[in-house]
């Protein structure tokens, strides 16, 4: 159970079939929101929505390329037409290409920045058109601790995540007159398939976990569920006076 009441709200989670995205979908649904699971992978999105439905949550899946304007616009119209509003957007879609500065290609740069930054912009813009007349809206963009620390590898990823912070602040200023908030969630290293990459269960993975955990004051990597409570707060009426903020959830690894 959750203390937050989001009954009657309509939520969109991009990257909703991923580890963090699906945890957020579940949390929003348990708080009473109707949830649109948006993901490029239609099969996994459908499975996630099906799991939510079996748990008693009203959910639908949509296959969307978040970097494509027409795809985003059509999906936003579908959701608003289906459920009558679009109240909460969590931009969690992302990818990670491990490459150094000299190894990063233009195609890798464009694909990463488009997915993270352009996708967040497009969904915020389309959602705002539905939020403004209702004078209610919550936009939550997923950034990262590397937006602050930088990254030796994943140059494009770090740059895109830093851009999301600037985008979020601009959204907050632009949309505040309409009682719409915009905030950024910046996770630390989280134990997800995206982080594990080519590692499989076994000694190598445990060594990687232990090495990463040494730099975290709380002594462990993040779990996808660690971010759900903050998303619920920012989505709720109780979060109505929080906007333009970047909130780091990383066990103390980065204190910004």
Catalytic residues: 157
Q: Which helix H or strand E contains 234, and what residues bound it?
A: helix 228-235
Of the candidates 110, 43, 119, 137, the residue with the CA atom closest to the CA atom of residue 75: 119
In DSSP terms, 180 is beta-bridged to 137
For residue 115, what is the DSSP state?
I
- Give start and end residues of each alpha helix (H) in 84-118: 106-113
Please check whether residue 144 is in contact with residue 187, taking contact to mean a CB–CB distance below 8 angstroms: yes
Tokens 């950024």 appear where?
Answer: 184
3-state helix, strand, coil in the chain (%, to 5): 50, 15, 35
- Give start and end residues of each alpha helix (H) in the chain: 19-30, 42-54, 69-83, 106-113, 119-134, 146-149, 155-175, 193-196, 203-213, 228-235
For residue 190, what is the DSSP state?
B
Give the span between the Cα atoms of 147 and 162, in whole angstroms. Answer: 4
């Amino acid at each position: 159970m959750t203390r937050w009441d989001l009954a009657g709200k309509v939520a969109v989670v991009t990257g909703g079939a991923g580890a963090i995205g699906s945890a957020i979908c579940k949390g929003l649904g348990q708080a009473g929101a109707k949830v649109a699971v948006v993901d490029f992978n239609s099969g996994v999105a459908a499975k996630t929505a099906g799991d939510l439905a079996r748990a008693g949550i009203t959910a639908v899946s949509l296959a969307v390329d978040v970097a494509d304007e027409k795809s985003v616009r059509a999906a936003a119209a579908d959701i608003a037409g289906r459920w009558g509003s679009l109240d909460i957007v969590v931009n969690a879609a992302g990818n990670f290409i491990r490459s150094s500065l000299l190894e990063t290609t233009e195609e890798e740069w464009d694909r990463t920045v488009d997915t993270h930054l352009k996708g967040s912009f497009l969904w915020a813009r389309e959602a705002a058109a539905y939020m403004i007349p209702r004078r209610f809206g919550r936009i939550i963009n997923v950034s990262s601790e590397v937006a602050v620390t930088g990254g030796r590898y994943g140059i494009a990823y770090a740059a895109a995540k830093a851009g999301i912070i600037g985008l979020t602040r601009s959204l907050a200023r632009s949309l505040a007159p309409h009682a719409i908030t915009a905030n950024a969630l910046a996770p630390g290293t989280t134990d997800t398939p995206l982080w594990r990459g080519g590692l499989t269960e076994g000694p190598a993975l445990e060594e990687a976990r232990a090495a990463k955990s040494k730099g975290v004051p709380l002594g462990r990597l993040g779990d996808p569920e660690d971010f759900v409570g903050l998303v619920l707060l920012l989505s709720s009426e109780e979060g109505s006076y929080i906007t333009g903020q970047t909130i780091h959830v990383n066990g103390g690894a980065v204190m910004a």
